[in-house]
Amino acid sequence: MVARVGLLLRALPLLLWDRLDAQPAERGGQELRKEAEAFLEKYGYLNEQVPKAPTSTQFSDAIRAFQWVSQLPVSGVLDRATLRQMTRPRCGVADTNSYAVWTERISDLFARHRTKMRRKKRFAKQGNKWYKQHLSYRLVNWPERLPEPAVRGAVRAAFQLWSNVSALEFWEAPATGPADIRLTFFQGDHNDGLGNAFDGPGGALAHAFLPRRGEAHFDQDERWSLSRRRGRNLFVVLAHEIGHTLGLTHSPAPRALMAPYYKRLGRDALLSWDDVLAVQSLYGKPLGGSVAVQLPGKLFTDFEAWDSHSPQGRRPETQGPKYCHSSFDAITVDRQQRLYIFKGSHFWEVAPDGNVSEPRPLQERWVGLPPNIEAAAVSLEDGDFYFFKVQSIR
């Protein structure tokens, strides 16, 4: 059933393209919804434990959440762009809790003193990290069409990508004996459960398990390559799945390596600021202490240069790179992936590409909103902002 779902999902844009706007009562629309429901269940947007079909509200909410994680316009409607996104090659790991984990990670960055205990509690409960810094790995097998030395080099580089920005260190274990992380290529059903059976070229490229199982599996039937232009770049997929074995969930950040969908190898840095922040929140910075968590440069420059206590607002410019050491009152994200950061009587708006606005007064956009709010949220349904502030009682 899983293989059929994956195959049909990839074929649907061709078979039913002219039916996407058909009424749900038509057979094509019904089949389309069933396949979309199967996809949403597989990737954690619908509860597969519920025996009956989801209600229209549940289905719309699931579509809305999927659109948000996929950086699509959030409408709750299974439109062409949403269907096309469902057919793209991706990681087979579910997106469950990716929004919650991501927003908490961002909040921790700007208000670490308020969320420190909660963050520790979550990690302890989920157990989604290794409790040591030296980890061994083994490449069990490799794609038949690629030379072993080249694949081993890609594996080594993928692990080094993460060790460069964290306190982790990796070494390749000998062919016999234990290894913390094992990388294996399989075809079809490989005893991971039907939900994890590989579906041939396209669809789910690979999947991995959070610590401390230490397993990453790759679809042997994919056209793996070490080229930028041909096939699926193995190095990129290796680096993504290794991220899962370290405890990282999927990220909705547009340029993150840990975003759920396949990312082509380009000339830009493979790890985004969110990837670095995620691994450092689990394992800390490199032991040498020379690498810092860095958001897009302009964001750091503007936040570091702003001083709410200064009459002019701006701090004197300093030499060298600037990093944000301040805390903020609240942070939230809207349906267009814009980040809003609040401090005192001002707010910043950060575009998906990292460009940040000048600090603007709260009253300029939200008349009557008091300063120093406690929390902020945006409704994914209508885009309305909600603010919270505790009033002290004397």
Q: Cα separation of 220 and 119, whole Å? A: 37
- Spatial neighbors of 133 by CB under 8 A, at least 6 apart, are 167, 168, 169, 283
Please confirm whether the linkage preceding 112 is cis (ω < 30° from 0): no
Q: Cα separation of 7 and 388, whole Å? A: 46
Mapped onto helix, strand or coil, the DSSP state of residue 363 is helix
User: Is 207 labelled a binding residue?
Assistant: yes
User: Is 200 labelled a binding residue?
Assistant: yes
Residue 160 has φ and ψ, to the nearest 5°, of: -65, -30
User: Is 325 labelled a binding residue?
Assistant: no
User: Is 222 labelled a binding residue?
Assistant: yes
Catalytic residue among 37, 241, 304, 374: 241
- Spatial neighbors of 51 by CB under 8 A, at least 6 apart, are none
User: Is 351 labelled a binding residue?
Assistant: no
Residue 23 has φ and ψ, to the nearest 5°, of: -70, 150
User: Is 86 labelled a binding residue?
Assistant: no
User: Is 113 labelled a binding residue?
Assistant: no
- Pick from 264, 238, 220, 214: nearest CA to 150: 238
Q: Is 241 a catalytic residue?
A: yes
User: Is 240 labelled a binding residue?
Assistant: yes
User: Helix crossing, 27-42 with 56-69: angle to 10°?
Assistant: 60
State the pairing for strand pair 215-219/385-388: unpaired
Cβ 284 vs Cβ 125: under 8 Å: no
User: Is 219 labelled a binding residue?
Assistant: yes
User: Is 92 labelled a binding residue?
Assistant: no
Question: Quick one: 97 exposed, middle or buried, by C-beta within 10 A (0-12, 13-18, 19+)?
Answer: middle
Q: Cα separation of 33 and 79, whole Å? A: 11
User: Is 91 labelled a binding residue?
Assistant: yes
Q: How far is CA 69 from CA 30, 103, 154, 177, in A?
A: 25, 12, 28, 40
Angle at 117 between CA 112 and CA 123, to 5 degrees: 100
User: Is 221 labelled a binding residue?
Assistant: no
Q: Residue 7 has which token pair?
A: 């195959």
User: Is 324 labelled a binding residue?
Assistant: no
Binding-site sequence positions for Zn(2+): 91, 190, 192, 207, 217, 240, 244, 250, 258
Binding-site sequence positions for Ca(2+): 180, 199-200, 219, 222, 329, 331, 376
Binding-site sequence positions: 91, 180, 190, 192, 199-200, 207, 217, 219, 222, 240, 244, 250, 258, 329, 331, 376
Positions marked catalytic: 241
